[in-house]
Each structure stands twice: as structure tokens, then as C-alpha cells.
Chain A
Amino acid sequence: MNILKIHVNGFGKLNNYDLTLEPGINLIIGPNEAGKTTLHLFIRSMLYGAEKKFRNRQRPVYERMRPWKDPEKFGGFMEVEADGSCWRITRDFNKDPDDLVMEELKDGKTRRLSEEEAAKQLKKLLNDLSETAYINTVSAGQLSSATEKDMAAELRRYAANVSTTGSPELNADRAIEYLRKERTNLESALDPDAAKDYAGVISAAGKLEESLSGPEYENRISEILKQNAALGLEAEKTESRIGELEKTIEQHRAELMQYELDGSAAAEELKTRVTRDFGTYKALESKLSGKGSVAAAVALFVLAAVLAFLAFRYRNEYLSVILLFAAAGGAAVGAYLTLHFSADMKAEAALAESLGREAKRITGRDTVDRETMDAFGEKMDLLKKEASAMEEAADEQAALKEQMTRILAGQNDGKDALSQQEQTRAAVESKLQELNAMQSEAAALRKKVEQNQLLRDRIDAIDIAVETLEGLRDGIRSAVGTYINKEASHMVEGLTGGAYTSVNAGRQYDISLNSHDGMISVKDVSAGTADQVYLAMRLATIRFIVGEDDAIPLVLDDSFALYDDERLRRSMRFIADNYRGQVVIFSCQNREAEALKDEDLPCNVIRMRH
């Protein structure tokens, strides 16, 4: 494509400005404030529209170039030729979108293209060169760095970018490094233990809950309190019953004491004895009252006495002895009887006395007769009943006392059980508090786990991106890098007049130049040489992007300020010989014009004034 005519309606400081260019080399010479850069930007804006984005931290072209004197006049047109056809590109930057009009000029006739056709045709004219690529290749200025070291670095960057991404702007390694750093940041935000801790807390809480369901934690306090209360009542009842019984027993005992009796055994014994004695007494009485016995005794004594007297009277030996024996016998028997009777009488007297005593004690009567005995018997029965009652009461009391011991033991157990339960309560309480804390912790940890998952998703995405970029980079490097090196080498050789035969943008992006004397790093060459290498790389990149027919006008804006005359001439020659497309050189001095003249290179010279 060649730009033939430019008409600036209004753009920056240019107003109603016309310019004619020719295929081949065009030289636009003008002082610094003449508007070269403006023109430069106008060309770009005609091709791509007035940019409204920020680029390289500069205010957008649209804002910068909006004329403040006549703002309605903001646009213009450009006529280009390509593939045997002519096209006019007209834009009015005040309209949004900027009202691109494209017309085909053929055989004197103008055909207006539709919007769709215009966009397609423009793209074709540009050979798919994007605005970014345009800025970085066809219309780039010189190396912007001042020192040689910086230039080398810039060059290296340029080479590195192009050979790894196909674009002078993009840098695969920096992008990858950026992603790796992002990844590290994300990883450091991960809580690697969150999932483990969460599982741990959940499991611990589960175990804790389970442990609480064991029988030792059963809450039996109500039950135990009820039991203890019941025992208490029972104790009370028993105690009071014991008291009652005690009273009863005392009463009975006192009563019996009056009769000098201590129990039913004693009473029984007394009654039996007295009854027996009375019987004996009565028997004796009747025995003794039988006069026969006394008379017999007396008679015997008398007989004995008579016999004894007779014995002494008759002193007949045989008779006396017999009579004496008989008397003795009679006396003996009489004595025996008398003794017996006296014993009985004594016994009778004794019995009478004791019976009388007992009877008096019990009945208050001292006559020993049947009536008294009856009264005695009755009273004894009563006393016996009382004694039984007392003894029954005593038995009951004893049993109750035994029961009381058991109850007390039960109450003690109850107290122990209660304090045991209270301890259990406290243990349960503290476990529940622990459980609550665990559940809160679990909730917080679960959130962390979720966050972790989000972070991991992002990390995975970064991994995919890095892998893709690495793959693309390696692919591009092998394809593009090789091409660029080859092309750039060819150009460097030409540009340097054979001083350097090839250029190699190596892996470490150190650019090395081959000369007869060996390899030299671009760091160590002069600024001028570095600039030439830059130019060579640019041209190689353009070739790569646009194709080998160089179908885009090359714009060189003040690119040769650092060149000495020799180099300048050589460069002009090289460009003229090697760039197959249109070339537009902006300069603020005459040197380029002179160099072209010296090399006998045809060029179209335009002078811009203020």
C-alpha cells in the first residue's frame, strides 16, 4: 500500500493541510514544532481511528489532537493505492464512531463502500497489522534510551518480546513470572491445615458427643432427690414410731415395776409358783387337819411310854427287852411322825407366810384363801398381758431400730449418689461448653475450607495459563525467533556493510553479533550500531507480520540522529534497496536528504513550515 495524498481538515496544530506522497522514499523535513509528529499521528488515526484509550501512559490521541481553535473540524482524508486500486479513507473524528467513509476511486469514478466492506477492505490494506503492532514496528521511533547500556537492554527486550510472543510489546517470560508470583501469593493465603483441622474438630466433637451418651453421664438428679426425699420421710416415720413405742414400753415397765415384775417370764413364774404353793399349802393344811395322824403320833408316844414303863416294871428279861424294843420302836415312829408333822407344820407356816406376802403384793389382800387366790390369778393374767404387750412393743421397736440403721445407710448412699451426680453435672457442663466451642471452631474452619477451595480454583487456572503460555512461547520462539534472526541477520549485514554478518537473539535474550573477529554482545557495541540492529529487527518483524512484500509504508521518525554520515548513507542505501514498500522519513535536519542525494537515491522531499 502506498499513501498518495493526505488532507488534514483539523488535527492537532494542523488545519487544512495537504500533502502529496509518492511511492518509494519520501522525506518530510521540518523544524521541531512544525507538526511532524502530528502528521505521523494523523496517518495512524486515518488507518485505525483516533485512539481514545490510554497508551503508554499518555493521554489518548483523540484528546491530545482535538483542535481547540476549530473543534468541529476534526478529521480529514487520505488517499492510498494498493493492488492496482485507489482508495480514499475519510474520517470525521467528532462523530462517534468516527464515521469512516471509504471510497474506491477507479477510472475517474467514485464508489462508496458499505460500512462492512470498508472495514474489511481496510483490514486487507493493513495486512492484518494491528494498531499495536503498527506502533511497534512500522512507525516506531528510534531507540528511546540515552545510554548505550540502556539501548542494549531495550534492544534485548525488543528482541525477546518479538521472538517469544511475536509482538514487540508482549513478553511471555514476564507474564509467566507475574503469574507465578500471583500463584505464590494465593498459595500463601491458603490455610493448608484447614481441611485437616476441620476434620479433626468434627471428629473430636463427634467423639465428645458420643461420650456424653454413656451411662455414667446420665442425669439422675431428679430421681435421686425423689429417692432421698422418700427415705427422709420413711426415717421420720420410723423415728416417730420408735418414739411412740418407747413411751408405751416405759408405761408398761413402770406398771410392772410396781409389782416388782420385769417381764412376762417373771409373771409366769410367779403365777405358777404361787399356784403351786397354794396347792401344796392346801394339801398340807388338809393333811395336818387330819387328827388321825396327830392322835396316832400321840398314841404311839403314850404306848411307847407305857411299854417302857412296863418294861421297867417287869424286869423280865425277855419281855423287858421286847417291851423296850417295842417302846423304842414306838418312840421312834412317834418321833418320826412328830418330826414329819412339825416339818409339815413348819412348811405350812412358811407357805402361809410367803403366800400371804405374794398375795398382798399382788392383790393387797393377805388372807390366804381361795378368794384371794382367784383375785391373784386374775391380776396375774392382767399383768401377764401387760408384760406381753411390753415385750411385743420392744420387739417391734428393735425391728424398727434395725430398719432405721438400714434407712440411715440408704440416706448416706443417697447423699453420696447426689454429690456424685453433682460432679457428673459439672463434668457434663464443662464438656458441653467444650462442645460448643468446638462447633464454633468448626464453623469458622469450614469457611476457611471453602475459601481454600476458591483459592485452589484460582491456582489451578493460573497453572493452566502458565502451561499454555510456556507452550506458546516455545512454539513461537522456534518459529518466529528463527525467522527474525535470519531476516535480521541479513539486514544487519547489509546495514553494517558486512562488519557484522549475523545477529542472534539468543535464549537469554542477549543479542550477539557475529563479526570476523568473533561474537560480540550488543552491550559492547556503539550506540549507532545498536540502533542499526534495532532497525534491522524492526524490519525483520515487519516482514514477519506483514509479509515479504513490505506492503505497509515504513515511517521513520527522526531515526538517524545518532548516525554518522557513513552509517547514514549506508542505511539509506540499505533501506532503499531492501524495503519494498513506501518509506516516509521525518527529519528535522538536512542530513538524510544529503545522504540520499549522495547515494543517488530518488526521493520525494517535502518541507513543512510552522
Chain B
Amino acid sequence: MKFIHFSDIRIGSPTESGRHWSDARQDERFRTLRRVLDYARDTEADLILIAGGLFSHQPVTSEMDRVNALFKDHADIQIVIIAGEPDCLKNSSPVRSYVWAPNVHYILSGQVERVVLPELKTEVCAASVTEEQGADPAIFGLADIKAFITSRPSEGFTLEEIRSYTGRPVIRIAMLSGSDAETLTKTFDRTDFTYVAAGLGGNAKEILPGRIYSPGNLEPEAMQDGGSHGIYMGEADEETGELTEIHFVPMASASYIPLLIGVTRNSTAEELSRMIAGEIRRRGEKNIYRLKLTGSRDPEQEFDLEELKRDFRIAEIIDETEPEYDFEALFAEHPQDMIGYYIGTIVNSGREMSPAEKKAMYYGIDALLRTRS
């Protein structure tokens, strides 16, 4: 039985709103979802597990329709979805009354529900995050099968029925969103679950090798989301119930890339623009960049890189360059005039200049030099 496990694709995420590329980014999330589904079809996966964060907020009908249409197109793949923190289940949640495609099982409870898939010899025990209750792995109880026989069977199948159907041990998967690596390890370590599909966000993590995995944010949200983003692809043996294969497949539309640019006294705005543009094209225009400029610049130069923001996906430009005033030289040049006095009063005070004072000095000296006769 082949399965795919991902989380936090966060359709509808508003974090890059206001940029010229934010609408495109929204579409990219849908496209990534489609890519995952197509990948599932191409690799003949039987089951998709979405461990929370399918949406970034309570979804509206159009968003659910769009996602459901994708699911309908892949009607022969079973899809089990739980709500995570961003799209947690509330009393008023629209997902509660939405009619999903028949191959979709959306868990509408904070208690453990069992989705039984006899054709796959698999059952998925999953719980959504609700408004009242965060994710508490303890609700998954003990490995003891008996605990589940007493819990309500879903769709009329009891575990015995499945067992009798197969005559062999079955693949059991637990899925939950939230909590933390330590608690998950402690809870699931000695259980007999074949696979635990966790949803911790952030980056992909192998929490307990061969057992517990968290695929991280499928699409990065913000600058802090560096690293690779993608899905886990796994395989479990339908005879033994053992996990036989698990590997990570990178699959995001875009990454956040920080670029550090050192400038010198000779750097000009055009030069920088050209260099940055070249670098961005080389690394991929789909990615989102944060530029940080450091170094000393010619005091006459102002780096206006706004055009870059129009042409590329730049989340922010941090200009930490400082006008290169050789204060010692200036002091030597102007020992008897205001510039000398200004530098002298501050430098001779002995204490460290605060950033505001430093900036003020640049401003003051710059203004004096600029307005020279």
C-alpha cells in the first residue's frame, strides 16, 4: 500500500498579501496541491494523508469547491484529512456541512475517529484539532487493539471484521496535528501503529525513524521557512503491516532565499541592480528573496532598488550599508571647523555612540558636505 503524507499547504494564506505576486502565490498553492495529487497518481499511491493545515483559515465555499474538484479528479485515491491549528474545527466551521467527494474523509471530531479502508487493508485513526482542544496524543490511547474495539466503529466495520476480511494483521496509521516531537515519541513509541503521520509545521522532521514523521510546511510561509519543503512518500506491506519504505520528496513552488550583498565604495545602484537581477534569475524567479545590503558605500550613493521589487519577488530589502565617511580623515581635514567639532565632540566623549547618534552624525556631516559652497 503506497501512501503520501503532507501537511500545511495553507490554501488561502494571506502572508504575502499586498505584493504584486501575492495572487500568483495563492494560485501556486493550488498548483502544488495538484502536483502532489498528480504525483500520487503517477506513483500509484493509494492513500493521501493530510495532517492539518490544508487551509490557512476557515475556508470559504469557493476555496473548498476548488480543492474538492481536485480531489474528485483523483477519485481512486483515498484521502484522509484532519484539521490543524490554522484551520481548526469550530462550531461554525463550514467544513462541518460541506459535502466532499466520496473518496475524501474529513475528520470532524477532536476525538479519534477510525477511517477503515478494507480494500487497502488499512485503517487510519485520526483526530482533528478543535477550538476547545489542542492536539493531545494521549487520546490515541494504548497500542492495545481492545481499546479500539470498544470505541465506536466507523462505517459499520469492526476491527475483527477487517481482520477476518484479510485474515492477517492490518496496516494501522495514526494521524494528528500539533503537539511536539518529544511527546509524540513518548506516546507512540511502544504502540503497534505502522506509521504515525504528524503535522508539526516548520521543516520536515524524522521524529522517530521508521515510525513518526512530520513533513513540515509544504509551501513556505515566510522568511524563517528556509530549507526544503515537500512530502513524505511511504509504502507499507499489506501482509505484514510493516512500513517498508519512507522517503522525502521536495515539492514546493518556491523557496524563501536570503541574499547577502556586500557593497563597496565603488558600487553603484545600476551595478547592484544588474548583479542582483542576474543572481535572482540564476536561482529562480519563482523564489522569494530577502535582500540585505551591507558594507560601506560612497556617501553620495543612495541605493534605490525599488525597480527590483517591481520585477521580482522581493519580500524586503534591508539596507545596512553605511556611508563611508572616514571620520579620521575628515577630522584631519577639518580640525578647526564645524565638521571637526562635530566629530570631535562625539568621538572624544569616549563612550560608544548609540545607533541614533551614529546615524545623526552621518546625517549632520553629510548635510554639511552636501551644502558646501
Contact = CB atoms under 8 A, between A and B. Distances in A.
The interface centre, meaning the residue of B17, B340, B363 with most chain A CB atoms within 10 A of its CB, is: B363
Contacts of A472: 338, 341-342, 345
Nearest to B97: A221
Contact of B14 (A175, A436, A447, A468): A436
B333 to A, nearest CB: 4
Contacts of A432: 57-60, 94
Contacts of A166: 336-338, 340-341
Interface in B21-64: 57-61
B368 A435 contact: no
Interface bin, chain B: 35 or more
Interface string A197-235: 000000000000000110101110110000000000000
Contacts of A435: 57-58
B153 interface: no
A171 interface: yes
Contacts of B141: none
A170 interface: yes
11 contacts: A130-B336, A132-B333, A212-B58, A219-B96, A421-B97, A436-B60, A461-B362, A462-B363, A466-B364, A473-B338, A545-B336
A227 to B, nearest CB: 14
Contacts of A457: 356, 359
The interface centre, meaning the residue of B97, B131, B345 with most chain A CB atoms within 10 A of its CB, is: B97
Given A213-B91, A443-B14, A469-B342, A425 B97 contact: yes
B373 interface: yes
Given A157-B373, A468-B364, A217 B334 contact: no
A358 interface: no
A4 interface: no
Interface bin, chain A: 35 or more
Contacts of A221: 96-97
Nearest to A179: B367
Contacts of A167: 334, 336-339
B359 to A, nearest CB: 4
A110 interface: no
B17 A440 contact: yes
A339 B140 CA distance: 104
B75 interface: no
A172 interface: yes
Interface string A445-477: 001000000000110111111101100110110
Contacts of B94: 219, 425, 428-429, 432
Given A429-B61, A443-B14, A443-B18, A165 B96 contact: no
A421 B335 CA distance: 82
B361 interface: yes
Contacts of A458: 359
B295 to A, nearest CB: 19
Contacts of A473: 338
Which 4 pairs show the lowest CB-CB distances between chains A and B?
A: A167-B337, A464-B360, A221-B97, A461-B359
Contacts of A466: 364
Given A436-B14, A463-B360, 13 more contacts: A167-B339, A170-B369, A177-B371, A178-B371, A179-B367, A221-B96, A221-B97, A425-B94, A432-B57, A436-B57, A462-B360, A464-B360, A468-B345
B97 to A, nearest CB: 4
B335 to A, nearest CB: 5
A558 interface: no
Contacts of A157: 373
Interface string A496-528: 000000000000000000000000000000000
Contact of A219 (B16, B61, B91): B91
The interface centre, meaning the residue of B60, B92, B339, B370 with most chain A CB atoms within 10 A of its CB, is: B92
Contacts of A545: 336
Contacts of A168: 373
B260 interface: no
Contacts, number: 163
Nearest to B358: A461
B60 A429 contact: yes
Nearest to B363: A465
Interface string B306-344: 000000000000000000000000001111111111100
A462 B361 CA distance: 9
B12 interface: yes
B304 interface: no
A131 interface: yes
Nearest to A215: B91
A431 to B, nearest CB: 9
The interface centre, meaning the residue of A219, A439, A475 with most chain B CB atoms within 10 A of its CB, is: A219
A128 B336 contact: yes
A19 to B, nearest CB: 28
B20 interface: no
B357 interface: yes
B96 A222 contact: yes
B373 A222 contact: no
A226 B345 CA distance: 83
Contacts of B339: 165, 167, 170
Contacts of A103: none
Given A432-B57, A472-B342, A161 B373 contact: yes
A465 B361 contact: yes
The interface centre, meaning the residue of B90, B94, B333, B338 with most chain A CB atoms within 10 A of its CB, is: B338
Contacts of B91: 213, 215, 217-219
A172 B338 contact: yes
A417 to B, nearest CB: 13
B371 A461 contact: no
B93 interface: yes
Nearest to A448: B18
A267 B77 CA distance: 71
B266 interface: no
Nearest to A461: B359
A333 interface: no
A460 B356 contact: yes
Contacts of B336: 128, 130, 133, 166-167, 544-545
Contacts of B12: 436
Interface string B125-136: 000000100000
B190 interface: no
B372 interface: yes
Contacts of B368: 165, 170-172, 175, 469
B150 interface: no
B224 interface: no
A164 B336 CA distance: 12
A35 to B, nearest CB: 28
Contacts of B359: 457-458, 461
A174 interface: yes
Contact of B15 (A130, A133, A443): A443
A133 B341 CA distance: 15
Contact of B335 (A128, A170, A468): A128
Contacts of B60: 429, 432-433, 436
Contacts of B332: 130
Nearest to A167: B337
A165 B367 contact: no
Contacts of A246: none
Interface in B97-139: 97, 131
Contacts of B363: 179, 182, 461-462, 465
B90 A170 contact: no
B18 A447 contact: yes
A130 B97 contact: no
Contacts of B342: 468-469, 472
A468 B344 CA distance: 12
A476 B97 contact: no
The interface centre, meaning the residue of B96, B337, B368 with most chain A CB atoms within 10 A of its CB, is: B337
Contacts of B362: 461
A176 interface: yes
Nearest to B18: A444
B325 to A, nearest CB: 13
A391 interface: no
